[in-house]
Amino acid sequence: MAKIDFGGVVENVVTRDEFPLEKARQVLKDEVVAVLGYGVQGPAQALNMRDNGITVIVGQRGGTKNWDKAVADGWVPGETLFSVEDAAERGTVVQYLLSDAGQRSVWPKIVECLDEGDMLYFSHGFSVTYKDQTGVIPPPHVDVALVAPKGSGTSVRRNFLDGSGINASYAIHQDATGKAEERAIALGIAIGAGYLFPTTFENEVYSDLTGERGILMGALAGVMEAQYNELRRHGHTPSEAFNETVEELTQSLIRLVAQNGMDWMYANCSTTAQRGALDWKDRFRDAVAPVFSDLYQSVLDGEETRIVLDKNSDPNYRENLEAELKAMRESEMWQAGAAVRSLRPENWGK
């Protein structure tokens, strides 16, 4: 492992230089990787591994949109595309990439498919960490590992295709074969990880649930709405409010942060913007710190997990979700966003 200094804290990471794809192929040459679930992470990880020469099959419930998507992506029913249970029976590595609620519901069937020496693979620490709520307790005769890409399935596939990859964490929960870590790292390289850093199942899910509810999605959407509404309240047009709230961030400033860090973004903005941002940064930090404290405690206590499992197990979940997303999509702010996006040069004439 390479030792990298992360702001004064030295951590071990695995890079492609020290664990190249050819080594991953050698480690996985006798494995059949069964990707269960073709929803969010499943397509990207399955396609990336297939492109990298790994033997992959897919398990997905028939008669669904995701089954049709798998067929469209070149998975052949009866050859490389099976029911979830049949794929689990055939796999020596079972990538359990169903939704968290889905993992709970089909676990009694999947656990019966795990043979001695198989690997049970997750991309989220949810089911194992909150086993009291999910009932997912792996048998002792299998390796149990996690590789969690730090991005959506769409990003995992897009970054793979452009050659950049996306960073991922990995963890070993159970090492029945003595080779769990090598197998997990090989799988991480095979799905196209830029680099891999070690974690635990617990830390992965605690950080992931906090991040998704916080700055990555929940906080970001909430803060954007607050600023947009304040600008509109003072008479700014929807176009101006959206551009100053979202478009400039996503099309310009966040790209500068990604390039070289927050200080570099500041250095490449006007002195007026620099001064104001520096003066207000700490006030925003201090204002939201109590909210993040409450959020992390809710994750630790299992309350967030309970909500997820209850809501996502509701038979009307898809309809309820679409209603919530429809309300967001049809709000003035995001209708303005659709209009602004249509005016980008690459969309002219579409």
Distance CA(166)–CA(191), nearest Å, equals 9
- Name the residue among 63, 6, 20, 10 with its Cα closest to residue 38: 63
Q: Which of 124, 173, 234, 236 is catalytic?
A: 124
Tokens 């809501």 — which residue?
311
Residue 90 CA to residue 80 CA, distance in Å, equals 10
Element spanning 206, H or E: helix 201-213
Catalytic (active site) residue 124: yes
**The two structure tokens encoding residue 33:** 């990787």
> 43 near 73, Cβ under 8 Å?
yes
Three-class SS of residue 193? strand
The whole-angstrom separation of Cα 16 and Cα 346 is: 34
Tokens coding 239:
């176009």
Q: How many CB atoms lie within 10 A of CB 93?
A: 25
* Rounded distance between C-alpha atoms, residue 196 and residue 4, angstroms: 12
Q: Which residue pairs, CB below 8 angstroms and at least 24 apart, start in 73-77?
A: 73/43, 73/47, 75/46
Measured CA angle at 28 (ends 25, 34), to 5 deg:
120
Q: Which residues are catalytic?
A: 124
